[in-house]
Amino acid sequence: MAQSEPPGEPLVRTERHGRVLVVRMCRAHKRNAVDRRLAEALDAAFNTLEDDPELWAGVLTGSGGVFSAGSDLNAIGDYVTERGGEYGLIRRHRRKPLVAAVEGAALGGGMELVLACDLVVAASNAVFGLPEVRLGLVPTCAGLFRGPRALPVNLAREMVLTGDPVDAARAHAAGLVNRVTEEGGALAGALELAARVCENAPVAVQASLVAMDAWLSGADALGWRSTEEATRTVMASEDRHEGVAAFLDRRPPRWTGR
């Protein structure tokens, strides 16, 4: 039986720190895995960030010592919102800088949430990974093209093809992470970085972000088409069914290559 949400607990909490909006995922009992309800709550929070002229930057973080384990498998892909796309963020057109504050695991879709942010602050215990191949799946939320864009290509390939995660120190050395803090300090570090951004002229900051994103995302249409082709291939495979079954049964998968 699926575990129900704790009664009365919001799935997303928002806090205003001056010009900065903190968006906290609060589905810790599911390692902040994203389903329809969490996606809608995230979408609403990011709508507030974009639409409120008093807010100049945002911070996305998790709870329970985890950033996010990615997609809730029980959601079966039902986590796409009209304005933000997957998870309320992945395809969102943004003008305001967003900082990821990462404690613990950012895996699968959690890593893809990080890749959708503009700056990253990670605690020393943070780990980043795209483990989908271990389930006979592929990253579907832009990891296949944003990963090689944010990381050295061979490191991105290693993460996708082995499914092995990297720690905060390696992610920082590779350029994915802007700052590393002590454990428990990622949010404070992200707020400090966001506040530093907010010391500058918001029109100039937003125009600069839009210009950089326009250049960086120039090949995104091809990236999405390639991702959709890869997804169709694995969804038609026997290995995909075996990978998910093995994960749910907590046993090693028996791959057939079909």
Q: What positions carry a catalytic annotation?
A: 112, 132
**String of DSSP letters for 82-123:** TTTEETTTTT----S-EEEEE-SEEETHHHHHHHTSSEEEEE
- Asked if residues 40 and 81 have their Cβ atoms less than 8 Å apart, the reply is yes
Q: Are 112 and 142 in contact (CB under 8 A)?
A: yes
Residue 75 CA neighbour count, 13 Å, CB half: 20
Three-class HEC string of 32-79:
CCECHHHHHHHHHHHHHHHHCCCCCEEEEECECCECECCECHHHCCCC
Cα distance between residue 108 and residue 95, in whole Å: 25
